A and B are shown apart, each in its own frame.
Chain A
C-alpha cells in the first residue's frame, strides 16, 4: 500500500515512456513527420544499427571510458582514503575538502575542465608555458586522443571522491583486533593490508560502484559541453550519439533503438555491481 505512490510515479514517468520508446524503435518515427509513428517497420532500425560503424565505435568507446574511469576512480579513491586515514590531525577538514567535487554539477565539471584544458587561455597550457615545459599550445580538446584523456580526467576528478569517502567510512569501521593479531604474528604491512583490510573494504568499494553505476550516464553532461562528441566524432559516446540522432537529425525511431543499447549497458553495470555487493556482504556475514 505504502509503495503505491512510488510505483505509480515510476510507471508514469519511466516505464510507460520506455514502452513507448521501445515501440517507436520499430518505426521510422521522425519528429518532423508525426504520422510516421504509426508505420511499423519491424527490426529495421536495429539491423541498421548493427551495421553502423559509428554506432559501434561510440559503443566501444563508451565501454572503454567506463572501464578505465571506474577502475581509476576506485584505485585513486582507495589511495586517497588510505592517505587521509593516516592523518592524525585536521582529518575533518580534509574530509570536507574531499566532498568538494561531489557538489559540482556534471555540466559545471565539464565547463570547468573545458576552461582549464583550453588551448589558448586554459590553466594547464598557461602553466606549462610559464614553466617553460612546452613552448607551444597543446591542443588538449582538439586532438582526438588528448580530448579523450581530458574527458576521462574530468570524469575521474568528479567521481573519485565518492569512492574515497565511502572507503574511508569503511576504514573507520574496521575492527582493530585482527590487525593487531596480524602484527603480533609478524605480518608485513602489505600482508595485513592484502588479507585483512582489503577484504573488509570490499563491500564498501562495491557500494560505491553500485551507487556510481546508477549514474554512469552522467558523463554525457561532461562530454556534451567539453567536446560535444568532436573533434570529428573522436570522443563520440553512445549518449551524445543518441542526443544528436534524436534531436539534431530528428530521427527519433533510430535514436530510441540506440537508447535501448545504452539502457541495456546501464542495466548490465547496475545488476553486476549490485550482485557483487550482495555476495561481498554475504562473505562478511552481514545478513540480508
Chain B
C-alpha cells in the first residue's frame, strides 16, 4: 500500500512537471509573436508608457491607418512593398518549381555519372551566405542595369530556391514506385505522358509543399534584397520594415503593424503545408 502510494505520488509529480515544462516551452514560443500583434493595436502613448501598461486600455487601428495612409503622415508605401513582395515571390516560385521538378525527377529516376557530386555541388551553392553572394551580384547587376528591378531579384530567388526544392522533390518522386510509370509505358504511354498522367499527380502534394517553402524563402529573404533593391519600385516587405527606423527613433507601433501584415500570408501557407513539409524533409534526408 505504502509503496503503491509512493508510486502514485511520483507519477503525479512527473506528470505535473511534464505539463509545467511543456507550458513554459510553448509560452516562450508563442509570447513574442503575440506581443507584436498586441502592440500593433495599441496607441504609441501606451507602448511607451512608464510604468508599463499591462492591460490595454484602448485598442486602436491607428498604426494600420497610418501605414496605408499617405507618405507625408508617417506612412510608408506599404501597398507597393506588398505588391513587390507578392510579384517577386510568386514568379520566382513558379520558375523555381519548373526547374526543380525537372531536376528532382532526373535525380530520382536516372542514373548518370557524377550524380552525387552534382547533388552536393547544388547544396553547396545554397550554403553560400547571402551577404557574401550579394557583393559580386551587386557588381554584375549594376553592369547589366538590372539593379532595383523585379527581374533581378526574381533571378536571384530562383537560383536560391532551386537546390533545396530539388532535394525535397527528389524525395517525393522516390516515394512514387517506379513500377507505376513502367506499367503506364507498357500500356502505350510515352515517358512524357507517363510522367504527367501517373507520377506527377501522385507527387503533387509534395511538390505543392516544396513550392510553399520556396515562396516563404523568397517572401522572408532580406540579406540579398536589401542590397539589390533601392527604391519603392522593387523594395520588398522585409526591406520596407527598416523604413520605420531612423537614426535615433523607432516607430514601434508602425513596425508591429507591418510585421503582422508580413506574417499573415506566411501563417496561412504554413498551416496548409505543414504535414507534407515534415514528411518531405524526413524522406528526402533518410532515404536520399
Q: Does B177 contact A (CB under 8 A)?
A: no
Report the minimum CB–CB distance from A92 to chain B (whole Å): 10
Query: Which residue of chain B lies nearest to A165 when distances are taken between CB atoms in the complex?
Result: B278
Q: Please tell me if A99 contacts chain B, counting CB pairs below 8 Å.
A: yes
Is A33 at the interface (CB under 8 A from chain B)? no
Residue ID in chain B nearest A1 by CB atoms: B106
Ranked 7 nearest A-B pairs via Cβ: A217-B129, A105-B220, A259-B132, A207-B285, A13-B159, A17-B136, A21-B136
**Complex Cα–Cα for A101 and B31 (A):** 11
Q: Complex formed: what's the CA distance from A215 to B161 in Å?
A: 12
| Known pairs A24-B136, A217-B223 / 9 extra A-B pairs, C-beta < 8 Å | A3-B102, A6-B100, A6-B102, A10-B122, A97-B26, A108-B263, A166-B282, A214-B163, A262-B132
Q: With the chains together, A100 CA to B282 CA distance in Å?
A: 19
Among B48-56, B69-77, B197-205, the stretch in contact with A: B48-56
**Complexed CA–CA distance, A225 and B29 (Å):** 20
Find out whether the CB atom of A107 lies under 8 angstroms from the CB atom of B137: no
Q: How far is the CA of A14 from the CA of B221 in the complex (A)?
A: 16
CB proximity to B under 8 Å, residues A52-99: 79-80, 83-84, 86-87, 94-99
A118 to chain B, nearest CB (A): 8
Interface contact tally, CB-CB below 8 A: 261
Taken residue by residue from 167 to 187, chain A's Cβ proximity to chain B (1 for < 8 Å, 0 otherwise) reads as: 001100100000000000000
- 23 pairs, A vs B, C-beta closer than 8 Å: A1-B106, A9-B159, A14-B125, A17-B136, A83-B25, A96-B271, A103-B270, A105-B266, A111-B255, A115-B39, A121-B252, A126-B52, A169-B281, A211-B285, A214-B123, A215-B126, A217-B129, A217-B132, A243-B134, A259-B129, A259-B135, A270-B124, A277-B285
B103 at the interface (CB under 8 A from A): yes
Taking the complex as formed, is A152 at the interface, i.e. its CB lies under 8 A from any CB of chain B? no
Residue of B nearest to A245 (CB): B135
CB contacts (< 8 Å) of B129 on chain A: these are 216-217, 220, 239, 242, 259, 262-263, 266
Contact A105 B219 (CB under 8 A): yes
Give chain A's interface secondary structure class.
helix
Which one of B134, B259, B282 contacts A207 once the chains associate, using CB atoms below 8 Å? Answer: B282
CA distance A93 to B18 in the complex (A): 17
Closest to B155 in A: A13
Q: Binary interface profile of B, 97-112, with partner A (CB < 8 Å = 1, else 0)?
A: 0111011011100100
